Amino acid sequence: MTGWSQALSGAHGETTGGHPGAASGETQTLTGNRGLQLEEKLIFEQDSPGHCGVDLPVPPHRDARLGGLERQGPIGLPGLSEPQIVRHFTRLSQKNYAIDSGLYPLGSCTMKHNPRLNEKLARLPGFADLHPLQPETTIKGALELVDTLAHWLKTLTGMPAVALSPAAGAHGELCGMMTIRAALTARGDARRRILVPESAHGTNPATAAICGYAIDPIAANARGRVDLAALKQSLGSDVAALMLTNPNTCGLFEDEILEIAAAVHDAGAFFYCDGANFNAIVGRVRPADLGIDALHLNLHKTFSTPHGGGGPGSGPVALAAALAPHAPLPWIVHGANGLGLVEHAEGAAANTIGRLKGFHGQMGMFVRALGYMMSHGADGLRQVAEDAVLNANYLRVRLAAVLSQSYPGACMHEVLFDDRFLKDTGVTTLDFAKALIDEGFHPMTMYFPLVVHGALLIEPTETESKASLDQFADTVNALAARAKSGRAEDFHATPRLTPRRRLDETAAARKPLLRWRPEPARQEATE
């Protein structure tokens, strides 16, 4: 068996549902509600058949031209009024933690403040109410916006081209790797392998596999960076690319990056960079100056577009000149009549890899990101990176005495700890994180990267005040002291104060219940 010893250590051999902590000492209420914590059933359990929260005109009577394919039975959707729906989703929202509520110290997620100006801009009818297939004469401003965003991204990265259609970071990785494979194929030099550091985010090897490559892991050195000697050993005429994250997922800048780039290029391979951690270097370092050939950016990380509970994101890919001809469709080009869309593989776009998504790209996220960039400007963006790195290092020094830092010394925008500080306490990384929840914090990233045991990866971002950082550090230090003082039981039952206690993930996976179903109709007793 492989791959399990590390990632699972949080399981602790127990089910998450194995601690039936009594809600003892808590006031029992008649409704099950607890003050402002309101219980709320599923919409399907609140159905008033025939009811509707939207008033629509009665359709004029027309003979249907549906080819005999009229729907035969009911769909099964519940009917509710607008007040019920508004209350339903308001109550649900109140069960969520969010950036607006508090700090999210999630490493590599860059959970920074989402400016509300950007929401207003994205909703301007001239952007939101624009059909992607409108004639080009009616969308000039949209093309201008996309082109302006492209200019900002090219300037910040130093790269000559940027592909804007990928819908998220993983999609951007796919785009980048596909252009690399296309470029190699075009020069008659198809190669089979991709090198990926052991600390890489799971999307990296998943993406490489989808592109048809075999993945070879590269070990880290004792300083938590790519082992240059090991890399050079693995490079060969069969390697298509190195996929690197910089700063890496341990929060460290790859200080030998120029040598790494040189080695990769000497072997005839391409250098792909996962730009998830761009927040550490934006405005201070240009990836092109590091020898990078392709880099995806996450507009929903560095450039503040909201996470929305799981997307939408946007993952544009900055490309070196060798890869630019293979960029996915559509392209926006400067022509005789100003900006225009190229939607087919012809002319300059003849060697495109093709289309990666319907229509043009995540325009709604482009508007938000450009609003963010223009608000900060060149000076503000540089300050973003500096404050992000400053905040992370401040937490590092405030926590280093009590937690176990995996790689001593300065970090970039995030700092990595491991579970050595919990040794012999009976408290796991998981327990520690759940205790933080009761204190009003979303836990840090846990169990990632896989290169250390019980990882805790902390990224505060630049939008946290010093007071916020101090409160977080004080809390973490106090909890660590509590863990070391033998109070493991306190941790095992956390969280106690959230709308739900620890949930039974084992049961959810053993007997997946992935949708609501109506109760079977009761049998009438018959004589």
Partner 1 sequence: MPMLRFTKDHEWIRQDGDTAVIGITDYAQQQLGDIVYVELPAVGTMVEAGKEAAVVESAKAASEVYAPVSGEVVAVNDAIAGDPAKVNADPMGEGWFLSVKLADPTALDGLMDEAAYVAFVAEQG
Partner 2 sequence: MRYLPLTPSDRQEMLAAIGAKSIDDLFADVPEAARLDGFVDLPPAQGELQVERALSAMAAKNVAAGSVPCFIGGGAYRHHVPAAVDHLIQRGEFLTSYTPYQPELAQGTLQSLFEFQTQVALLTGMDVANASLYDGATACAEAVAMAHRVTRRGKAVLSGALHPHYREVCETYAQFSGLTLAALDPRPGGVEDFDFDSDTACVVVQNPDFFGELRDWTALAARCHAVGALLVAVVNEVVSLGAVTPPGAMGADIVAAEGQSLGNALNFGGPHVGLFAAREQHVRQMPGRLVGQTVDADGRRGWVLTLSTREQHIRREKATSNICTNSGLCALAFTIHLALLGEAGLTRLARLNHATACTLADRLAAVPGVGIVNTSFFNEFTLRLPQPAAPIVDRLAEYGVLGGVPVSRFYPGHADLADLLLVAATETVTEDDIDIFSHTLTKVLR
**Sign of the alpha-carbon dihedral angle for 24, 26, 32, 33:** negative
Among 448, 451, 458, 483, binds partner 2 (CB under 8 A): 448
| Residue 4 binding: pick among partner 2, partner 1, none (C-beta 5-8 Å cut-off by kind) | partner 1
* Tokens standing for residue 444: 């840090």
CA atoms within 13 A on the CB side of 75: 7
Cβ of residue 224: shortest distance to partner 2, in angstroms? 11
Cβ of residue 134: shortest distance to partner 2, in angstroms? 6
396-425 residues in contact with partner 1 (CB under 8 A) are none
Specify whether the CB–CB gap between 287 and 157 falls below 8 A: yes
Give yes or no for residue 60 binding partner 1 (CB under 8 A). no
448-467 residues in contact with partner 1 (CB under 8 A) are none
Q: How far is the C-alpha of 207 from the C-alpha of 453, rounded, in Å?
A: 25
Other CB atoms within a 10 A radius of the CB of residue 113 amount to 13
40-59 residues in contact with partner 2 (CB under 8 A) are 40, 42-44, 47, 49-54, 56-59
> Between β-strands 270-274 and 239-245, what pairing exists: parallel, antiparallel or unpaired?
parallel
CA distances from 163 to 14, 160, 295, 296 (A): 46, 11, 10, 9
Give yes or no for residue 11 binding partner 1 (CB under 8 A). yes
Specify whether the CB–CB gap between 172 and 317 falls below 8 A: yes
Among 92, 348, 397, 508, binds partner 1 (CB under 8 A): 508
Among 3, 50, 74, 520, binds partner 1 (CB under 8 A): 3
The closest of 73, 71, 77 to 50, measured between CA atoms, is 77
| Residue 510 burial (10 A CB sphere; 0-12, 13-18, 19+) | exposed
* Tokens standing for residue 143: 């093309």
Give yes or no for residue 174 binding partner 2 (CB under 8 A). yes
15-54 residues in contact with partner 1 (CB under 8 A) are 15
Give yes or no for residue 10 binding partner 1 (CB under 8 A). yes
Give yes or no for residue 4 binding partner 1 (CB under 8 A). yes
Element (H, E) at 117: helix 116-122
Specify whether the CB–CB gap between 331 and 85 falls below 8 A: no
CA distances from 516 to 53, 519, 523 (A): 21, 9, 21
Q: Which residues pair with 69 in a beta bridge?
A: none
Q: Which is nearer to partner 1, 255 or 504 (CB)?
A: 504
| Residue 323 binding: pick among partner 1, partner 2, none (C-beta 5-8 Å cut-off by kind) | none
| Residue 448 binding: pick among partner 2, partner 1, none (C-beta 5-8 Å cut-off by kind) | partner 2
229-268 residues in contact with partner 1 (CB under 8 A) are none
Number of residues that make up the chain: 527
461-500 residues in contact with partner 1 (CB under 8 A) are none
Give yes or no for residue 13 binding partner 1 (CB under 8 A). yes
| Residue 381 binding: pick among partner 1, partner 2, none (C-beta 5-8 Å cut-off by kind) | partner 2
Give yes or no for residue 130 binding partner 1 (CB under 8 A). no
Among 46, 471, 477, 506, binds partner 1 (CB under 8 A): 506
Give yes or no for residue 474 binding partner 2 (CB under 8 A). no
| Residue 10 binding: pick among partner 1, partner 2, none (C-beta 5-8 Å cut-off by kind) | partner 1
* Tokens standing for residue 128: 């939101």
Nearby residues of 175 by Cβ (< 8 Å), 6 or more positions away: 163, 165, 166, 296, 315, 317, 327, 328, 353, 356
Give yes or no for residue 188 binding partner 2 (CB under 8 A). no
Cβ of residue 417: shortest distance to partner 2, in angstroms? 17
* Total residues in contact with partner 2, by rule CB under 8 A: 213
Specify whether the CB–CB gap between 301 and 320 falls below 8 A: no
Give yes or no for residue 187 binding partner 2 (CB under 8 A). no
Cβ of residue 527: shortest distance to partner 2, in angstroms? 35
> One-letter amino acid identity for 301?
K
Q: Which is nearer to partner 2, 1 or 75 (CB)?
A: 75
Cβ of residue 195: shortest distance to partner 1, in angstroms? 22
Among 14, 21, 221, 348, binds partner 2 (CB under 8 A): 21
Q: Strand, helix or coil at 34?
A: strand
| Residue 5 binding: pick among partner 2, partner 1, none (C-beta 5-8 Å cut-off by kind) | partner 1
Query: Candidates 67-75, 263-271, 318-326, 479-487 — which segment interacts with partner 2 by CB under 8 A?
Result: 67-75
Q: How far is the C-alpha of 157 from the C-alpha of 286, rounded, in Å?
A: 5
Cβ of residue 15: shortest distance to partner 1, in angstroms? 5
Among 14, 289, 474, 489, binds partner 2 (CB under 8 A): 289
Among 226, 231, 290, 324, binds partner 2 (CB under 8 A): 290
Cβ of residue 11: shortest distance to partner 1, in angstroms? 3
Q: Which is nearer to partner 1, 9 or 84 (CB)?
A: 9
Give yes or no for residue 498 binding partner 2 (CB under 8 A). yes
The DSSP secondary structure of 374-419, one letter per residue, reads HHHHHHHHHHHHHHHHHHHHHHHHHHTTTSEESS-S--SS-EEEEG
| Residue 318 burial (10 A CB sphere; 0-12, 13-18, 19+) | buried
The string over 293-313, giving b where at least 16 C-beta atoms fall within 10 Å of a residue's C-beta and e elsewhere, is: bbbbbbbbbbbbbbbeeeeeb
Element (H, E) at 441: none
Q: Which is nearer to partner 2, 161 or 326 (CB)?
A: 326
Residue ranges binding partner 1 (CB under 8 A): 1-5, 7-15, 447, 505-506, 508-510
